[in-house]
Copies of this chain bind each other. A is one copy, B any other.
Amino acid sequence: MTKRIAAFGEVMMRLQVPGYELLSQASTLNYSFSGTGVNVTSALARFGHKGLLVSTLPANAVGDAAVSYLQKLGITKSFINRDGKYIGMYFLENGFGARSSRVTYSNRLESSFNSAPEGSYDFQDIAPKIDVVHFCGITLAMNDSVRAQMKAFAKAVKGNGGTVVFDCNYRPSLWGEDGYKAAKPHYEEMLGLADIVMMNEKDAMYVLGMKTGKEKRHEQLIELIPAVAKKYSISVIAGTHRSINSDNTHSLRGFIYKNQEFTFSKLLSFSVYDRIGAGDAYTSGIIHSEMKGFTPAKAVGFAAAAGMLAHTIVGDTPMSSESEILRAMTELVGDVER
């Protein structure tokens, strides 16, 4: 069944150096537009839902380009305001082997989204028009005004019987020194409002300050996630454990905790072409699974395969269809499809 799924978040311009040159070597950039909300709603639109973004873009040529790009991704623009003058940007230099990829941000705090005044969005009007809303810890890190909008929106959706998804996505560089302390109350408020939460044991330990005597990641997870679910009355908690292997491949295992039970995906190992945004593919897989009523086993398998495929595609935004993901869950890597 098709749902109306919205996300609240910033649209950023990604300025990527082509190939493996450094910014000080090259002279051209590839550009696209992304953001956690963009990635999630676009992926869900590709799965057949209606994907809506609640955001603000500047009323100029850059904003026009962003809107065109979001439309190309299948996002419905009805709730996108056009106001302010700037857009957040980041530069991406692709790493190769021993040299890591490098991201350099431009100033995003003055972006149209992050400087939109209170009252910019009529959440009471929007809430009844959507079934699910997605929020992300990155947005929560921005400023008080955005945080207030985010919480108001979450409450409005909750009040209308909608589903609230919250992806913890804690970024140390955004919260600064003593960031965990500053972040905790806001995270707790969002967890209290959320039905589906994306996180793992690190968020519990560092952001929420929960204690455990265990030392292994898996054991920490098994101990802490149920406690989080109980404390904040969360229906579904899902997330991944990721690692980078010595041959530059990555490994990923997804989990879901639902009805007091953990389910894990197979451990997937794969070559990586573009790592950015792959976490959002996993999230969109979980949301889609919940909307379609997949079993937990199918849900983590689907989400993990969605995450794996997103690593093989250029750009932040997942591009795989439901059928491609289902096939990737069962098949080995194949020869040319023709």
Contact = CB atoms under 8 A, between A and B. Distances in A.
Copies in the complex: 6
A1 interface: no
Interface string A91-116: 10101111111111111001000000
Nearest to A338: B103
Decide if the interface of chain A is mainly helix, strand, loop or mixed: loop
A260 interface: no
A62 B314 contact: no
Given A61-B104, A315-B25, A337-B100, A69 B72 contact: yes
A309 interface: yes
How many of chain A's residues touch chain B, expressed as a range? 35 or more
B31 A333 contact: no
Given A71-B74, A86-B107, A22 B61 contact: yes
A24 interface: yes
A142 interface: no
A97 B338 contact: no
19 contacts: A20-B273, A20-B313, A25-B314, A25-B319, A61-B102, A68-B73, A68-B74, A69-B72, A85-B105, A87-B106, A90-B338, A97-B273, A97-B311, A97-B333, A99-B328, A103-B337, A106-B106, A173-B338, A244-B332
